[in-house]
Structure 1
Amino acid sequence: MNSIIVRYCFAASIALALTALPAAAVEQNCRFIPAKADREACYKRQEEELAAKRKPAAPAAESTTLETLRQLRQDDDAVYRSINNICRGC
């Protein structure tokens, strides 16, 4: 059991390290630019790229939201119906 946990933690740490490498490499490129103006321009580009990645998705159309709510209501009703069929006094 412990070996499974150790393997999972090891795999998770490797995956985290691999996803963090590209971001660190991009920052190092800007850090070592000797000209101040070029270095600041590089940081500005990085900032804009990060902002574009973090930009929230466009709001969904209202009809899509209503359809989602209807589907959720139907799912809830199905769950409530199945709960009512459970024998509670057996």
Structure 2
Amino acid sequence: MKLAACLSSALMIIASATTAAAAEQCRFIEARSEREACYKRQDAERTARQKTDEAKQAQQKPYEPVSQEDALLAKSLRSICRGC
């Protein structure tokens, strides 16, 4: 059981290191045109990722501030029960 947990932890660490290394590989490309093309690809991926994140946030329930009546009700309930 402990061996399986250790192996899964090791795999997760390796996978995260691989994705981090893939993001920084452009700066090690010596040919300028290839390096710039790599940066453009990364920029396109980043903008696509940002658009999907924005779409997810738009789908979430919007924040609704607490009405004054709700605040008064909560205040009165707190004063009734102290330590329940």
TM-score, normalised to structure 2's length? 0.45
